[in-house]
A and B are shown apart, each in its own frame.
Chain A
């Protein structure tokens, strides 16, 4: 602790020097004169390293310029130790001055944790930042394997990067929601690496087919789940079969509630099938359609039920109710749109369509209760509203017919007038 405290004092002084007399530091640094340096907390470390030709030694000094840790009181020394105000490299990087060099992977969690798990220290920089990451990491599969001596696993820097770490909320960060998949994919899509652990490497591809990935990337819905939303970030662990409904249920609350009240809740746990993924799968969760319900081929229900058992009957009943509602709503939408294309304004029909849409969405949610009655009640509501929209469309068609008839009459009159005119012209010119 004492040594670290000294490092800090040194860093603070170094910054003070740089701010007060940047010219002096540049002149003294020798190599620093060649590269333009911004005033940073890097001290003479950055001054020298920016001037080095070896990319391995040069690039960290560049990257650190936009690192979230590049601020007064932190700096290279915070991780690497050494003396940032010493101008002689030998002196600056001597173990006597606390220089640690490049930390080994196994040391990294503890190194980061020395600040990030220290709540009284973090409070000085980012009071709202949690400090449980290290504790969480130790419970993760990554953390456990690292403790067991496996250095292939992810540590802090595998995901957050190093020398250029950005805040999680920064959209350029490697752990920003839209970048998480690519970050995890560095290892988890690596077939050779994953095969040594006996875990599949196709999960990234599967996830990219999911409705969640689409919501995240196409609709830019940052609340849509990416890897860490289900697996946890620092405590990354696959959720167990029993906890999966809790995980999905954090967002899909209603579906989870209904499912828990359904006869399936008990049955699924008895046969060891996950509550949600039993039907929907997990990484490649796609938008389910009504065709997945029923007992035929390719249906979810058909995996356990056939047409003869009670569950199969219920599935057929639900399927029939949903199909009728979906067809009616679709037909109503087509007809209303058709009337709109013909120039009719269908405001009231639009309201009814919205109602029918709502009922249909709710009917589909009720499917999780596996009750024919509950689904049919909602589906009937959707059908009723859609029929009202269909009536409006029929009225619009009638109005269009009325207009066309009026047009025909007007055209007939114009035609008669034309004939009369031509007769008249011929008459007077005879």
Chain B
């Protein structure tokens, strides 16, 4: 203990830590009916932490070439002690991270927490969700198995629909005209260097904004939050967050042990596409929608129309803090609540129905 004390004094002398300690001591989290929603951001952060750790571990044995990628993942799964666990956790945690990020986003949305002064927090969060999906898309290809290979082929092909620059974009994205070993190397670089760097920058910004601005309380819950004593951030809220993290860890362990992530068969670029190519579940709502749009709508190519609609939808979602004027004025904004419910129902509905095999 004495060592810790002197270490603290050493650091405090040089860094002046007391204001930070003081800040942490006074930081509070409001207590109301929907306080539980404040935990999803932290849970997403936990899964991200797991992703970084397991990702670094996978790098010890993974080889990003068309010749060796599949074999090296197979090697990790069979020969390396606990390799199966590390890889399964990496795959499961990726999915749970995106799920938890979605829950976090919708809870923020319905509490209208994006209003002034928190617009930038919403925007950075939006960017991070896109980055997370980029992580998922690029990481899906890395084991170089048949399903991933063809899903990537279909997924990247969408880019070619972009007007004017589509073919060029496709060429750049795939590192050639088709999905090959060159694409794998490219995706690997994006997955382990480009995206982590961007994500770190936005994450720092996001967390700094949350600390600086404190937790938002929706107008409808103000009275309740004022009436009830707030939760002290340290240690009370931290302990609660730890409970959530431990539950997340337990969930990961169960999933990894009982449903180890499948490896499938090695990709063969010359084989014909297998039946039932599907992207990861968080792309399903877009994938199924694009499949359902007729080939031609009002003389415009259906896929282009669909992609355009999703691009506009994304832009709309991004600009919510600006568009939702009523919430900005502190009034109730029914319209945007309804929009949120529609979007949530659409995404969840299509995804679940596809899993049940109703849509296909």
Contact = CB atoms under 8 A, between A and B. Distances in A.
Nearest to B249: A414
Contacts of A415: 250
Interface string A310-337: 0000000000000000000000000000
B243 interface: yes
A345 B74 contact: yes
Contacts of B74: 345
A425 B257 CA distance: 30
Interface string B223-257: 00000000000011001101100110110011001
Contact of A342 (B246, B249, B260, B261): B260
Contacts of A428: 235-236, 239
Contacts of B262: 343
Interface string B243-281: 100110110011001111111000000000000000000
A347 B235 contact: no
A421 B250 contact: no
B84 interface: yes
Nearest to A407: B257
A429 interface: yes
Interface residues of B, number: 25
Given A345-B78, A414-B246, A421-B243, A429 B236 contact: yes
For chain A, what secondary structure do more than half of its interface residues adopt (helix, strand, loop), or is it mixed? helix
B306 to A, nearest CB: 36
A345 B261 CA distance: 12
B257 A417 contact: no
B77 interface: yes
Interface in A388-430: 403-404, 406-407, 410-411, 414-415, 417-418, 421-422, 424-425, 428-429
Most chain A CB atoms below 10 A, which of B88, B242, B247: B242
Nearest to A406: B257
Most chain B CB atoms below 10 A, which of A342, A347, A414, A417: A414
Contact of B254 (A347, A407, A417): A407
Contacts of B77: 343, 345
A347 B243 contact: no
A421 B254 contact: no
B253 A343 contact: no
A429 B260 CA distance: 40
B28 to A, nearest CB: 13
B240 A425 contact: yes
Contact of B253 (A347, A411, A424): A411
Most chain B CB atoms below 10 A, which of A411, A415, A418, A425: A425
A404 B294 CA distance: 48
Contacts of A407: 253-254, 257-258
Contacts of A347: 78
A149 B254 CA distance: 84
A407 B88 CA distance: 13
A415 B85 CA distance: 20
A424 B250 contact: no
A229 to B, nearest CB: 30
Contacts of A342: 260
Contact of B257 (A403, A414, A418, A429): A403
B250 A411 contact: yes
B236 A410 contact: no
Contacts of B84: 343, 403
Nearest to B75: A345
Contacts of A429: 236
A406 B243 CA distance: 21
Most chain A CB atoms below 10 A, which of B77, B257, B261, B263: B257
Contacts of B243: 418, 421-422, 425
Given A343-B84, A345-B74, A425 B239 contact: yes
Nearest to B79: A345
A410 B254 CA distance: 10
Contacts of A404: 257-258
B278 to A, nearest CB: 19
Given A345-B77, A418-B246, A422-B243, 18 more contacts: A343-B77, A343-B84, A343-B260, A403-B257, A404-B257, A407-B254, A407-B257, A410-B250, A414-B249, A414-B250, A414-B253, A417-B246, A418-B243, A421-B239, A421-B243, A421-B246, A424-B239, A425-B239
- 5 interchain residue pairs of minimum CB distance: A343-B260, A407-B257, A345-B78, A414-B250, A425-B239
15 contacts: A343-B259, A343-B262, A345-B78, A403-B85, A403-B257, A406-B257, A407-B253, A411-B250, A411-B253, A414-B250, A418-B247, A421-B239, A421-B246, A425-B236, A429-B236
